[in-house]
Structure 1
Amino acid sequence: MARYVYIISGPCGVGKSTITKGLACKLEKAVLIEGDLISAMFVGEEQPPWEEKLSIVWQNLSSLTKNFLRNGYDVVIDYVVEDEMEWFFRELRQTGFDITLHYYVLRADPEVLIERITKRGDTDMIPRSLELLHLLENKEENAPHLYDTTHKDPNVIIEEIANNITGYYP
Structure 2
Amino acid sequence: MKLSVVIISGPCGVGKSTITKALVNNIEKTMLVEGDLLFHMISDQTMNWEQKLAITWQNILSVTNNALQSNLNVVIDYVVEDELDWFISQLTNENVEVYYIVLIANDEAIRDRIEKRGDIELLHRSSQLLQELSTKQANIPFLYDTTNKSITEIVQDLEKKMKHFRYKTME
2:65, 2:93 within 8 Å by CA — same for their partners in 1? no
Listed as ranges, the matches of 1:9-158 within 5 Å are: 9-44=9-44, 46-92=45-91, 95-158=92-155
1:9, 1:106 within 8 Å by CA — same for their partners in 2? yes
- Alpha-carbon offset, residue 96 of structure 1: 4.0
RMSD (CA atoms): 1.1
In the alignment, residue 20 of structure 1 is paired with which amino acid? Answer: T
- Alpha-carbon offset, residue 51 of structure 1: 1.2
- Alpha-carbon offset, residue 97 of structure 1: 2.6
Mind listing any 5+ residue stretches in structure 1 that lack a counterpart? Answer: none
Q: Cα distance 1:166–1:47, how it changes in 2: closer, same or farther (>3 A)? A: farther
Alpha-carbon distance in 2 for matches of 1:72, 1:147 = 28
The size of the alignment, in residue pairs, is 167
| 1:14-39 CA distance string (max 9 Å, x none) | 00011000001110110100000000
The alignment partner of 2:90 has SS state of helix
TM-score (norm 2): 0.94
Alpha-carbon distance in 1 for matches of 2:113, 2:49 = 27
Q: Who is 1:168 aligned against?
A: 166
1:160, 1:166 within 8 Å by CA — same for their partners in 2? no
Q: Cα distance 1:135–1:72, how it changes in 2: closer, same or farther (>3 A)? A: same
Alpha-carbon distance in 2 for matches of 1:71, 1:121 = 38
Alpha-carbon distance in 2 for matches of 1:77, 1:98 = 18
The alignment-based identity, stated in percent, is 47
The alignment partner of 2:144 has SS state of strand
2:3, 2:71 within 8 Å by CA — same for their partners in 1? yes
| 1:52-106 CA distance string (max 9 Å, x none) | 11111001111110100010100000000000011011112xx243111000000
| 1:124-160 CA distance string (max 9 Å, x none) | 1111110100010111000000000002211121122
Stretches of 4+ moved more than 6 A in 1?
none
Alpha-carbon distance in 2 for matches of 1:79, 1:60 = 12
